[in-house]
Structure 1
């Protein structure tokens, strides 16, 4: 039994090393000079710790505007997904109406289609209403999430129906039951959705590069993707840009990780 535990620990440590070493290398390289970053043999720690790589990026690119664009897109899309997704999930889990199972399966089938297929129809739709090259285009396509509906529906199914029936006896309607009974139960899946969907919105690079032309309206990931054109082979500056993209997501995850683990480990994901 002890040998089995040590093997599990070894595999976990190896997995952590595989995931963290590239980030640590990127972080250390962002504080190096160009000469230190190209030395052979490779030098792990900088001989001279400098911050000029970060200051150069901040001077050349509108980082503050990019961060605000990204934060705005993440916040609006998350609020919409939680509200619309939880309402739809409540309807699919609790209400009875014709074709409910068929509609739910039809909605789930969308998850099987690669997201890239929707890029052209989305762009044509936004272009028709004049929303291309606007900050609205960054989040309007993410207002509704099929995954959010599916995940929260599974959690709602784990809530005893007796609670709904007791509330109806007391005179509560469907919306009040949703607001006072269902939503408090959904705290863990909502946090899990915030991490998963927020990360997906934050790191999305393809869609903003297609729909946005003005540099000031870009989110941070798409904006910093242009670093390679400006700094060419200046690796410390490129690594500094990668660190700037990663740190907010890492902080966000560590703040909410307790709720994320609770949401994944709970018994809600069941039919």
Structure 2
């Protein structure tokens, strides 16, 4: 049995000249729900960062994620195209976002914000570890709605034929990523927050664990995801996404080890 792609309209709503896409709504939902969840965590187990601090941070975080995602896509996946048309990097309505670029943009904005307001960078990253998977979940669902970032051909019964590629059944890898990088990571940190005091006791541990968890999920799911056509496979059948994720995995391991040894404090800027 082969599953057919449901052919969901990527446009959620049209109001005259205004066109609202599911992809844009996914970003809005991820940011708003992540913000509200972070506020709930802060009020439930308060540390140095206040609810107002995090609210002030959200707009800058959004800017860092979006611009970083666009620049990352241009740099990692389509450098020649954007070299000749650099202004199109700022065409935010066009497809093309890189998680790794968005992550770097988020880090840069976070460092600046924490230095400006004399807040603990790792405490902020621990909060982000609890909430980021919400945005990742909605983003991957939006990828599925758009019929993009499909998986490799498969003979499995859940293989799906996507409209923008060929007639071969393929892994719905967007849903794999939504389930692992999104739902599974969210539930993991929800349970850790519910039944442990690790975020309060080990500053930076959640940030390290998130980096490890996301990296492992991404590296595994990349084995089922079709690599970008412009790049293809790299060494030993690996993909660019796996190589970009490897440094994040190593940093996450180091950060988790140091955090467990209580090298960092919530007072550090």
Same-fold call, TM > 0.5? no
The structure whose residues are more often strand, as a share, is: 2
Please tell me the TM-score bracket, short chain as reference: under 0.3
The structure whose residues are more often helix, as a share, is: 1
TM-score (norm 2): 0.27
Bigger radius of gyration: 1
